């Protein structure tokens, strides 16, 4: 029978390899699609819209504001070349982070017209990458 008191357990390797994935994974780009800078009109249900400068991707957007939305439900309006009229998209807030000039709010689209999504994708492919991305 082994006496556990005599066994040094702190040096036993429970995991065969060191866990270093978290640091490595954070260093590379994790976005599925590039983002482009754009002017957004952001509105919470039952409130007035406000203009923000943000980054737009095919799947969502992010913007910095001094008055972050209290609701998780957001509606955005914006225009892109090649699409007639404004694009209206609904989304859900997935992150709120403190930024130098306010709060950065990240949105994932939950409802956007298919033709509008195609126009966004084409616009993103044609424009050069913004410095904010």
Which residues lie below 8 Å from residue 11, measured CB to CB, with a gap of 6+? none
What is the number of other CB atoms lying within 10 angstroms of the CB of residue 56?
A: 28
Q: Is residue 13 part of a domain?
A: no
More confident of the two residues 32 and 40? 40
Q: How far apart are CA 40 and CA 116, in angstroms?
A: 15
- Nearest Cα to 52, choosing from 62, 111, 60? 62
| pLDDT score of 65 more than 50 | yes
Q: Is residue 107 part of a domain?
A: yes
Query: Tell me, what's the pLDDT at 34?
Result: 77
Query: Tell me, what's the pLDDT at 30?
Result: 52
Question: H helices within the chain, ranges in order?
Answer: 21-27, 114-126
| pLDDT score of 66 more than 80 | yes
| pLDDT score of 62 more than 90 | yes
Q: Is residue 23 part of a domain?
A: no
Q: Dump pLDDT digits (tens) for 75-130.
A: 999 999 888 999 999 999 998 888 778 889 999 999 999 999 999 999 988 755 54
Q: Is residue 89 part of a domain?
A: yes
Give the chain's domain count.
Answer: 1
Q: Is residue 105 part of a domain?
A: yes
Query: Tell me, what's the pLDDT at 113?
Result: 93
Q: Which structural domain range is residue 120 located in? A: 32-126
Sign of CA pseudo-dihedral 48, 53, 58, 60 = negative
Q: What is the DSSP letter of 5?
A: G
| pLDDT score of 15 more than 70 | no
Q: Is residue 25 part of a domain?
A: no
| pLDDT score of 50 more than 80 | yes
- Global pTM? 0.67
**CA angle, residues 13, 15, 16, in degrees to nearest 5:** 85
Q: Is residue 2 part of a domain?
A: no
Give how far Cα 100 sits from Cα of 46, 47, 92, 108, Å: 28, 25, 23, 22
- Residue 29: pLDDT band (50, 70, 90) is very low
Q: Assign residue 89 the CATH number of its domain.
A: 2.40.10.220
């Amino acid at each position: 029978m082994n006496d556990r008191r005599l066994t040094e357990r702190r040096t036993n390797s429970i995991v065969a390899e060191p866990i270093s994935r978290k640091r490595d994974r954070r260093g590379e780009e994790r976005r599925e699609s590039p983002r482009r800078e754009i002017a957004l009109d952001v509105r919470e249900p039952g409130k007035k819209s406000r203009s923000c400068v943000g980054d737009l991707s095919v799947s969502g957007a992010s913007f910095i504001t001094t008055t972050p939305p209290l609701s998780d439900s957001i509606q955005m309006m914006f225009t892109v070349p090649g699409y007639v009229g404004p694009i209206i998209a609904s989304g859900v807030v997935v992150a709120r982070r403190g930024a130098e000039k306010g709060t950065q709010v990240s949105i994932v689209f939950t409802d956007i017209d298919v033709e509008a999504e195609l126009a966004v994708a084409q616009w993103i492919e044609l424009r050069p990458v913004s410095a904010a991305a």
